[in-house]
Copies of this chain bind each other. A is one copy, B any other.
Amino acid sequence: MRKRNRLSAESYIKGILEGDRVILSRAITVIESNHPLDLPLADEILEGILPHTGNSLRIGITGVPGVGKSTFIESFGKTITTQGKKLAVLTIDPSSQRSKGSILGDKTRMEELSHDPLAYIRPSASGSTLGGVNQKTRETMLLCEAAGHEVILVETVGVGQSETAVHGMVDFFLLLMLAGAGDELQGMKKGIMEMADLLVITKADGDNKQKCKLAASNYRNALHLFPPTPSGWEPKVQLCSSVEKDGLEAIWETMDSYFNKVKINGYFQHKREEQHGQWLEESINAHLRNDFFSNLNVKSLFENIEPEVVHGKTAVSFAARKLLQTYKESTN
């Protein structure tokens, strides 16, 4: 067994609450670990910091590759830290198996922000299951909150399943878009536009600005046709240029009015509570599925029976029952 080199739960908790970034990073590594020895330690850390969580504004940011997410977060992040606010940026990309190399990658693509003492950047661990990624990201978010980060940006890539997951863990959902719908939207998941609290059209600079204004006006008209949001908030469309640093303050002001509104009308608290309940359900589901599919007998039967189901040769109900029977027999 490799040397684990762990601190005591108390040391982690103390370090986090003092805002020690090294301890915070090491605690996140414990949380992300799936090693059985780390589980009780992770539980202790989480229980210890729990009373100090929940005080940040949690903001999800998504958009297809090429929309300029990193550049946006770099510029927008500076807007936040310039106000003296502590910021954490968590990035999720379930399509790539992130390593320490890509942590460096993230820091390189947000170079200015990564040297900002008020900003903390951390890629979310890639789990084997999406449920896993979600849970780790949520817990990382809690740790960052306990470390005093007042704004948390959760970045996701906008083309997979992670957007819905991120939407379920944040207070505010920001969608970055390019002017000129069409090829640029290829791969974006259906339903995302309707989830956005704010739609920002990026790269609104130089010759592109006029095109972006037109796009914004089209999107504004479209958003009026969507079902109303349960928050009572009317989704907005804004422009921004990360290069010219234009529109960033206005985006922050929009978020500010959103938070004012939902904190007063009670939706903020209501949504947080609803999310806690959902996290519990998702966490249970992820564990149950994980136990099931990591069973070797189930695995080998699944590999045989799944193609038959897909090609309509075996009924779903029969296959499911057979798999569950195999699972029960091999766990009893």
Judged by a CB distance under 8 angstroms, whether A43 is at the interface is yes
Interface size on A, residues (CB 8 A): 66
A111 to B135, CA, bound (A): 50
A280-B39 contact given A190-B191, A195-B191, CB 8 Å threshold: no
Complex interface: chain B residues within 8 A of A195 (CB): 190-191
Copies of chain A in the complex: 2
Report yes or no: A315 in contact with B190, Cβ–Cβ below 8 A.
no
Complex interface: chain B residues within 8 A of A249 (CB): none
Judged by a CB distance under 8 angstroms, whether A324 is at the interface is yes
Instruction: Provide the A270-313 mask, 1 if CB < 8 A to any CB of B, else 0.
Output: 00110011011001110111001000000000000010011111
Complex interface: chain B residues within 8 A of A42 (CB): 317
**Nearest neighbor of A324 in chain B, beta-carbon distance:** B287
A54 to B47, CA, bound (A): 52
A229-B318 contact given A309-B280, A310-B273, CB 8 Å threshold: no
A286–chain B nearest beta-carbon distance, Å: 8
A318 to B280, CA, bound (A): 10
Report yes or no: B320 in contact with A193, Cβ–Cβ below 8 A.
no
Judged by a CB distance under 8 angstroms, whether A53 is at the interface is yes
A66–chain B nearest beta-carbon distance, Å: 14
A249 to B91, CA, bound (A): 50
Which one of B193, B219, B276, B319 lies within 8 Å of A316 (CB-CB)?
B276
Instruction: Provide the A166-192 mask, 1 if CB < 8 A to any CB of B, else 0.
Output: 000000000000000110011111111
Residue among A50, A227, A279 with the highest chain B CB neighbour number at 10 A: A227
A225 to B46, CA, bound (A): 43
Which one of B185, B272, B292, B310 lies within 8 Å of A277 (CB-CB)?
B310
Judged by a CB distance under 8 angstroms, whether A194 is at the interface is yes
A317 to B283, CA, bound (A): 7
A-B contact pairs, 13 of them (CB 8 A): A43-B315, A47-B315, A50-B315, A135-B317, A181-B224, A189-B227, A190-B195, A193-B227, A222-B222, A272-B312, A280-B309, A287-B320, A332-B332
